[in-house]
């Protein structure tokens, strides 16, 4: 088992920290700029909280940098952990931003929307990369101890996966939010849509999205589309999104019909 220092106290730090503890690894320190947050997570992980860079031990096997993507390079510049493995958890950031802090560095990217309150800890696919083969081997062993879905992916592959994840998760959730707002204003219950949402997601386990598209745009039902647009006259944002996506789905169906 490995001795690990976690840098960060947010969702990724919390979920990965709990998984690492459950796998038998020792979290020897939790660093957080906010003392209270560091103390809270350290208590959860039976670790030691620190809030000064000078307090971070240099004896750990791995330093897990679980902070916001846009501050990874800045935060890593505070670290000097030569010959120790330093990894970040971002999909859209190159592993090479860590090269000034350590000669051995890499990535442990969870392709999942992580929340502190996740219980029980669900399976999380991990994508890894490293500065060299020896470091990659150790990161792989670490990753396999907390997930059975571990894949090696370089910077470009992870970036492309991150783009796909934004469409699959962030954009789809925005649609749920629009639907929820619409339901509230129209005195409808959003919960009535949950079986449909769950069934749509479940179908993807055995049917590709290209074969699962349904709805008025997919079947060219212009009368229903017109009625929907009329209902959305008081919801300009929803109407704009509706018209854009309807047009794109219609274009896709025309391409299928012409064999392009």
Q: Strands across the sheet with 126-130, in order?
A: 49-50, 26-31, 3-7, 62-65, 85-88, 104-110, 126-130, 150-152
Under-50 pLDDT residues of the chain: none
The answer to whether 11 and 116 have CB atoms below 8 angstroms apart is yes
CATH number of the domain to which 62 belongs: 3.40.50.720
The pLDDT score that the predictor gives to residue 196 is: 96
99-157 residue pLDDT tens: 999 999 999 999 998 888 877 667 889 999 999 999 999 999 999 999 999 999 999 99
Last residue of a domain, one of 101, 133, 153: 153
Same domain, 148 and 166: no
CATH number at residue 192: 1.10.1040.20
Pull the structure tokens for residue 156: 């470009």
What pLDDT score does 83 carry? 86
Alpha carbon distance 123, 164 (integer Å): 19
The predicted pLDDT at position 258 comes to 61
Residues 82, 12, single domain; the answer is yes
Residue 23 has a pLDDT of 94
Do both 134 and 167 map to the same domain?
no
98 and 221 share a domain? no
Cα separation, 114 vs 13, in Å, equals 9
- Do 120 and 166 lie in a common domain? no
Distance between CA atoms of residues 187 and 169, nearest Å: 26
* Residues 129 and 98: beta-carbon distance below 8 Å: no
Could you tell me if 9 and 104 lie in one domain? yes
pLDDT at residue 80 in the model: 84
pLDDT value, residue 121: 67
Report the C-alpha gap between 39 and 50 in whole angstroms: 8
Q: Give the tokens for residue 240.
A: 């704009």
Q: How many domains does the chain divide into?
A: 2
Q: Give the span between the Cα atoms of 55 and 173, in whole angstroms.
A: 40
Residue 111: enclosing H or E segment and its boundaries?
none
To which residue do tokens 């749920």 refer?
176
Q: Both 118 and 30 in a single domain? A: yes
How far apart CA 215 and CA 225 sit, in angstroms, is 10
- What end-to-end distance do the CA atoms of the chain give, in Å? 54
Residue 97 lies in domain: 3-153
Structure tokens at 12: 């990724």
């Amino acid at each position: 088992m490995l001795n690990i220092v976690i840098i960060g106290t947010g969702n990724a730090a919390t979920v990965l920290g709990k998984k690492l503890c459950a796998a038998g690894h020792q979290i020897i320190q939790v660093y957080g700029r906010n003392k209270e947050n560091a103390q809270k997570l350290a208590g959860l992980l039976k670790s030691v909280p620190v809030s000064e860079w000078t307090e971070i031990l240099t004896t750990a096997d791995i330093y897990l940098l679980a902070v916001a993507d846009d501050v990874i390079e800045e935060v890593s510049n505070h670290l000097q952990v030569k010959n120790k493995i330093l990894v970040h958890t971002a999909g859209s950031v190159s592993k090479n931003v860590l090269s000034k802090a350590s000669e051995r560095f890499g990535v442990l990217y969870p392709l999942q929307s992580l929340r502190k309150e996740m219980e029980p800890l669900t399976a999380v696919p991990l994508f890894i990369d490293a500065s060299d083969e020896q470091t990659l081997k150790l990161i792989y062993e670490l990753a396999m101890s907390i997930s059975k879905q571990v894949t090696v992916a370089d910077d470009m592959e992870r970036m492309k996966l991150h783009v796909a994840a934004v469409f699959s998760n962030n954009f789809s959730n925005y649609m749920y939010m629009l639907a929820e707002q619409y339901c509230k204003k129209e005195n409808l219950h959003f919960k009535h849509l949950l079986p449909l949402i769950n069934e749509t997601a479940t179908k993807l386990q055995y049917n590709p999205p290209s074969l699962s598209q349904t709805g008025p745009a997919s079947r060219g039902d212009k009368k229903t589309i017109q009625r929907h647009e009329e209902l959305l006259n008081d919801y300009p944002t929803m109407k704009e999104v509706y018209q854009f996506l309807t047009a794109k789905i219609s274009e896709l169906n025309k391409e299928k019909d012409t064999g392009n």
